[in-house]
Amino acid sequence: MYVLFIVLNDLDKLKEVLAALKSADVRGATIIDSVGAGAMMEEEFLGSPLIGGFMRSLSSNYGSNKTIFSVIEREEQVDRAMAAVEKVLGDMNKPGTAIMFVLPVVKFKGGELERHIDRRERKNILQKEYESEYY
Amino acid sequence: MYALFIVLNKTEYLKEVIKALGDIGLDCAIMDSISANQYVNFYSPHTFDAYNIPVVVGSISMAEEDSGVIYNKTMIVLVENEEKAEQAMKAVESIVGNMDRPGTGIMFYVPVVKTAAE
């Protein structure tokens, strides 16, 4: 069991990334609003007290990005999801695209993934009963 | 050391969950978040057929009851060991009910390499 984190800088690509995740059979994801530390340091104007506030209200996204995370069952599915995201974003070595990383999950509970696994197990049990001699 | 992530869809239970975690001696960080499903269904009901339209969610004010988007909360809790993590997960489930049901949330914990707190 793994959890995939994607910090996405290009907000226009968010829906495409979500679509790519969905097509790679990722079950559900959570999105958090976040801000890149680099962007915050760079824009000294926007950081200043009064003017910065006005400037921020003018520019729509002040270095903001989205952090997406999702629990994924198997490693090959993680690889598939990462490949799908990379295909959408292009070269991820360029500055200001995205970063993704995977952590091992010790245990999880709930969410769409658990329901999916439950359904699959139930189907397997039914299938076994069906194939057994009692039928 | 483990980091327990709790995505709480039923935000009305937030205070009770914090209290329950506090009772077993745990502190947490809380963030506003949104379910990817909610996001996509609300802005294009026919799922992904119009996803090149610029995304405006960030500029919509957060957590308005009538905005139609359901915001949830993501909590991060640091726990010393697995028993404590299990205990915390049980405590959360005792309040929000069984997490198997759709629309309640998800929780999981990941190993933490190093901490420097408290």
CATH value at residue B100: 3.30.70.120
Q: Which residue has the higher pLDDT, B43 or A123?
A: A123
- Quick check: B117 pLDDT over 70? no
- Quick check: B90 pLDDT over 80? yes
A30, A112 contact by CB (below 8 A): no
Write down the pLDDT at residue B9: 85
Write down the pLDDT at residue B45: 42
B107 touching A, CB under 8 A?
A: yes
Residues of chain A with pLDDT under 50: none
B49 touching A, CB under 8 A?
A: no
Tell me the pLDDT of chain B averaged across its residues. 77
Tell me whether residue B78 is in a domain. yes
Q: How far is CA A48 from CA A34, A57, A62, in A?
A: 20, 13, 13
| A2-105 fold | Alpha-Beta Plaits (3.30.70)
Provide the number of structural domains found in chain B. 1
- Quick check: B51 pLDDT over 50? no
The mean pLDDT of B24-39, rounded to a whole number, is 84
What's the gap in Å between the CA of B60 and the closest CA on chain A? 11
Tell me whether residue B26 is in a domain. yes
Q: Which residue has the higher pLDDT, B89 or A44?
A: B89
Sign for the pseudo-dihedral over CA of A52, A95, A70, B4: negative
The half-sphere exposure of A118 on its side-chain side, counting CA atoms within 13 A, is: 11
Note down the domain range covering B74: 2-111
- CA A3 from centre of chain: 9
- Quick check: B58 pLDDT over 50? no
Write down the pLDDT at residue A33: 87
Share of chain B above pLDDT 90, in %: 38
Tell me whether residue B84 is in a domain. yes
CA dihedral angle for residue A41, residue A47, residue A48, residue A52, rounded to 10 degrees? 140
- Quick check: B42 pLDDT over 60? no
CB spacing of B58 vs A103 below 8 angstroms: no
B104 touching A, CB under 8 A?
A: yes
B55 touching A, CB under 8 A?
A: yes
Confidence of residue B109 (pLDDT cuts 50, 70, 90): very high
Tell me whether residue B117 is in a domain. no
Contacts of B17 in chain A (CB under 8 A): none
